[in-house]
């Protein structure tokens, strides 16, 4: 699934967007199209961390949708 991270050149908001050939990303806040693609870290999951209750560290806060995406 091609999900990329962007920063809007107009309002400076950082967000994630699902991009396809037919779907051009725009800023969810100001609908700007002047975007810079950000370099994101790959997410790695081991078998131990995939089991419920095995995570010792707090979940990272996601930047998508202002931290309200519910992905953590």
Provide the edge-to-edge strand list for the sheet that holds 35-38. 14-18, 3-8, 35-38
Whole-number Å distance between alpha carbons of 53 and 20: 35
The pLDDT score that the predictor gives to residue 21 is: 85
Q: Are 8 and 29 spatial neighbours (Cβ–Cβ below 8 Å)? A: yes
The pLDDT score that the predictor gives to residue 9 is: 96
The pLDDT score that the predictor gives to residue 48 is: 60
Q: What digits encode the pLDDT tens for the residues 3-49?
A: 899 999 999 999 999 888 888 899 999 999 999 999 877 666 666 65
pLDDT higher than threshold 60 for residue 56: no
């Amino acid at each position: 699934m091609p999900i990329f991270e962007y920063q809007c050149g107009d309002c400076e908001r950082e967000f994630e967007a699902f991009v396809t050939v037919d779907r051009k990303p725009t800023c969810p806040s100001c609908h700007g199209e002047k975007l810079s693609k950000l370099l994101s870290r790959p997410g790695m999951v081991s078998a131990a961390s995939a089991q419920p209750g095995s995570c010792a560290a707090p979940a990272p806060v996601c930047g998508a949708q202002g931290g309200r995406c519910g992905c953590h």
